[in-house]
């Protein structure tokens, strides 16, 4: 590996990220990953990179691995729409779907307040930088939004939405019950949500909507929001129905939904749109360079490269050697601050920790724009496990999982390695007595 693809990475406010910005160039898609959903430095580095992409390269919106309805409320606040909340803290604290800490955290509060301040200086409402969710989980929440929108704007078109809503009612807003039922009974709500989407798409979003509440500020975007919720409902129905069969199918439904949502957002923002995506490395890094390929799994990074072209997409991974993290021992259980042990020998995380004998334990930015700079015999082209911590994590099982076999320079275009990291700061968890908030956080949180 030649030295000019390894760069210093210590300070947000200096020139350390410059090689990454140079690598990004005129690309229209920048996908920023993370090795866990609960690491402060991952959020903070992505936030600083995002700010530079917005101010220096004119990026249009941020799309995250989050639910569409919750993130759309953040979008309204960031754009300064009426009745959108008094603070980013208030809007983010309302996130209720587990795992709440992914977006209801102090690191994101800081970014959203910055985004709102930035947008105040943008005169054209259509050019204000947005914040959206790419995920597919919010079946009931999306149905609620559709019902509210149609009631306010097109009461005569509510028939199909009511029919879809009632189809799901017997399951008591429990998507798992719906999934279990469709596994044993050849009936589903697939036709109802498809019909609802078709009818919504037949309605033109009105530029002069005069509604109060969430839809008043921008009739065109309000209609896009309603239509996207119908897309979410349709794909959520498919996702929950598919997940009962196991295998790669439900994962692929989810990531296809993510890339399709991203493309809808790009189209909505116009021909000069540029997008920033925040998601886990398992979604961002090209699946074809991992053992996900053998499992017949695709992901957002792979699909983006295939659809938009490799040169127009920059995939950026983030990883760590050791530290602490917010996660849970079981799905749906309370969040905890956990220790992240030193990465196992033979993994990418251990390899990068020891990469430079003179700088063991230092942060590093690696750029892989010129693959020919990596010698054919280099260990950089050998597959190694790369740590992947999900919302469910148990440090004692570290040696038995949590690593995805990866060829790093093919999976990503660049990689930020933060050697020792700290746990995220959730809004719904008190700050640990022995931990100080980073100086970038606003006071009073």
Tokens (6 digits) for 312: 């127009």
Average pLDDT value over all residues in the chain:
88
The pTM of the full predicted model, rounded to 2 decimals, is 0.91
Strand partners, 365: 7, 416
Q: What angle do CA 377, 383, 389 make, to 5 degrees?
A: 145
Tokens (6 digits) for 7: 């760069």
Query: Which pLDDT band holds residue 208 (cuts at 50, 70, 90)?
Result: very low
Helix residue ranges, H only, 277-424: 281-284, 300-308, 348-353, 408-411
Q: Using CA atoms, how far apart are residues 198 and 120, in angstroms rounded to an integer? A: 36
Query: What is residue 113's three-state secondary structure?
Result: helix
Does residue 171 carry a pLDDT above 90?
no
Give pLDDT tens digits for 401-437. 789 999 999 999 999 999 999 999 999 997 766 665 5
Q: Where are the beta strands (DSSP E) in 128-181?
A: 130-133
Which of the 8 DSSP states describes residue 185? S
What pLDDT score does 210 carry?
A: 40
What integer is the mean pLDDT of 87-110?
Answer: 96
Does residue 185 carry a pLDDT above 60?
yes
Count CB-CB contacts under 10 A for residue 70: 22
Tokens (6 digits) for 6: 């390894």
Dihedral class, residue 70 (left if φ above 0, else alpha if ψ from -120 to 50, else beta) = alpha
Higher-pLDDT residue of 180, 341: 341
Residues in CB range of 400: below 8 A, 6 or more apart: none
Tell me if 232 sits within 8 A of 138, measured CB to CB: yes
Does residue 3 carry a pLDDT above 60?
no
Exposure b/e, 299-320, CB count within 10 A at least 16 = b: bbbbbbbeebeeeebbbbbbbb
Q: Which of 342, 293, 297 is nearest to 322 (CA)?
A: 342
Topology annotation, domain 1-59+275-445: EreA/ChaN-like  fold (3.40.1660)
Q: Using CA atoms, how far apart are residues 411 and 366, in angstroms rounded to an integer? A: 13
Give pLDDT tens digits for 209-253. 444 333 344 678 999 999 999 999 999 999 998 887 778 999 999
Report CA-CA distances (Å) from 171 to 129, 154, 243, 421: 38, 27, 17, 42
Tell me if 189 sits within 8 A of 179, measured CB to CB: no
Q: Which long-range contacts (CB under 8 A, 24 or more apart) does 338-345 make?
A: 338/393, 338/395, 338/423, 339/395, 340/36, 340/389, 340/395, 340/421, 341/395, 341/398, 343/387, 344/385, 344/398, 344/399, 344/403
Say if residue 99 is preceded by a cis peptide, omega within 30 of 0.
yes
Domain boundaries, the chain: 1-59+275-445
Does residue 296 carry a pLDDT above 70?
yes
Dihedral class, residue 311 (left if φ above 0, else alpha if ψ from -120 to 50, else beta) = alpha
Tokens (6 digits) for 215: 């839809």
Q: Which of 321, 323, 416, 325 is nearest to 11 (CA)?
A: 416
Q: Which of 310, 311, 191 is nearest to 241 (CA)?
A: 191
Tell the residue number behind the tokens 């839809």, with chain if given: 215
What pLDDT score does 176 carry?
A: 81
What integer is the mean pLDDT of 333-360?
Answer: 90
What pLDDT score does 424 carry?
A: 97
């Amino acid at each position: 590996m030649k030295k000019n693809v390894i760069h210093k990475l210590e300070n947000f406010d200096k020139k350390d990220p410059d090689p990454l910005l140079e690598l990004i160039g005129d690309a229209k898609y920048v996908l920023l990953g993370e090795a866990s959903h609960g690491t402060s430095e991952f959020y903070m580095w992505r936030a600083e990179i995002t700010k530079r992409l917005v101010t220096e390269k004119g990026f249009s919106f941020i799309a995250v691995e989050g639910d569409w309805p919750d993130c759309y409320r953040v979008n309204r606040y960031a754009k300064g729409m009426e009745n959108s909340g008094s603070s980013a803290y208030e809007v983010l604290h309302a996130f209720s779907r587990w795992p709440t800490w992914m977006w209801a955290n102090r690191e994101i509060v800081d970014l959203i307040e910055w985004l709102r301040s930035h947008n105040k200086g943008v005169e054209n409402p259509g050019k204000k930088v947005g914040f959206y969710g790419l995920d597919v989980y919010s079946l009931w929440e999306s149905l609620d939004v559709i019902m509210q929108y149609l009631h306010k704007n097109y009461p005569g078109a509510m028939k199909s939405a009511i029919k879809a809503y009632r189809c799901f009612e017997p399951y008591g807003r429990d998507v798992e019950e719906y999934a279990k039922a469709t596994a044993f009974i050849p009936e589903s709500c697939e036709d109802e949500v498809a019909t609802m989407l078709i009818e919504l798409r037949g309605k033109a979003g009105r530029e002069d909507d005069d509604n109060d509440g969430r839809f008043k500020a921008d009739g065109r975007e309000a209609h896009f929001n309603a239509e996207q919720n119908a897309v979410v409902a349709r794909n959520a129905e498919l996702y929950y129905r598919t997940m009962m069969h196991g295998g790669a199918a439900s994962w692929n439904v989810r990531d296809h939904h993510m890339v399709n949502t991203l493309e809808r957002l790009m189209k909505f923002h116009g021909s000069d749109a540029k997008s920033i995506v925040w998601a886990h490395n398992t979604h961002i890094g090209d699946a074809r360079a991992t053992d996900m390929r053998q499992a017949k799994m695709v992901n957002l990074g792979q699909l983006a490269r295939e659809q938009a072209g490799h040169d127009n997409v920059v995939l950026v991974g983030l990883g760590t050697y050791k530290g602490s993290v917010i996660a849970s021992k079981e799905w749906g259980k309370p969040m905890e601050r956990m220790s992240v042990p030193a990465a196992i020998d033979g993994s990418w995380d251990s390899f990068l920790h020891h990469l430079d004998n003179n700088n063991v334990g230092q942060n590093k930015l690696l750029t892989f724009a010129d693959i020919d700079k990596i010698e054919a015999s280099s260990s950089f082209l050998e597959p190694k496990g790369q740590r992947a911590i999900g919302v469910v994590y148990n440090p004692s099982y570290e040696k038995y999982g949590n690593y995805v076999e990866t060829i790093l320079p093919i999976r990503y275009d660049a990689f930020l390695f933060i050697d020792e990291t700290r746990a995220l700061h959730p809004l719904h968890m008190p700050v640990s007595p022995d931990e100080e908030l980073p100086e970038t956080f606003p006071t009073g949180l």
